[in-house]
Amino acid sequence: MSPWLLALLVVVDGTLCGFRAAAGRNPRLFLRSYYLASLGRGAGRSLVVLAVFAGAALLVWEFSPEGFDALLLAADAMVQVYGVYAVVTLSALGLYVIGHFDLGVLATVLVLGPFTLARPFVIIAGAAWAAGSAPHPLSVALCVMSAVVMVSFERLLDVGAPPWRGVLPES
């Protein structure tokens, strides 16, 4: 169950990274389609990341059964750390659904702003917790690689995109 929950967390995080990578970079007034496209780009690229790591996990399963068991233990540990972070973040985003301006501001100031700054540290802490929970060399290597990719995910979304992407009409 933990690998599926971890995959869901990766897609949600990637989708939100897509939004954060695009926020404040387009001077147009009507930005709905721009933000929807950036959410889709973040989700799509997170699915690519998932495919790469799932392929690595399948290789570990094929060639090292004890390494795969360690990966499952590492996934359990990652879900423990990242799940708490995700619940708090998604709860704050839920305040926007309520639609009251003051609740949206409160969520931004108390949760979303500080949690965005804490995200790299939470990712590193989760990977370290997972590596310590399953000290097999393959699981440690995949934990470190996943932390590096997810910490730099927003920057990876910017690769090949001009700073004012989306300003010019599509031809």
Closest CA to 142 of 1, 3, 24: 3
Residue type, 137: P
User: How confident is the model over 21-73, as pLDDT tens digits?
Assistant: 877 766 777 878 888 888 898 899 999 999 999 999 999 899 988 889 998 99
The domain total for the chain is 1
User: How confident is the model over 81-139, as pLDDT tens digits?
Assistant: 999 999 988 888 888 778 777 887 888 788 888 888 899 999 999 999 998 888 888 88
Closest CA to 36 of 51, 24, 18: 18
Residue 63: inside a domain, yes or no?
yes
Tell me the C-alpha distance between 77 and 128, whole Å. 9
- pLDDT of the residue at 171: 42
- pLDDT of the residue at 145: 92
Residue 110: inside a domain, yes or no?
yes
Q: Which domain holds residue 59?
A: 2-158
Closest CA to 43 of 9, 83, 1, 14: 14
Tell me the C-alpha distance between 93 and 125, whole Å. 23
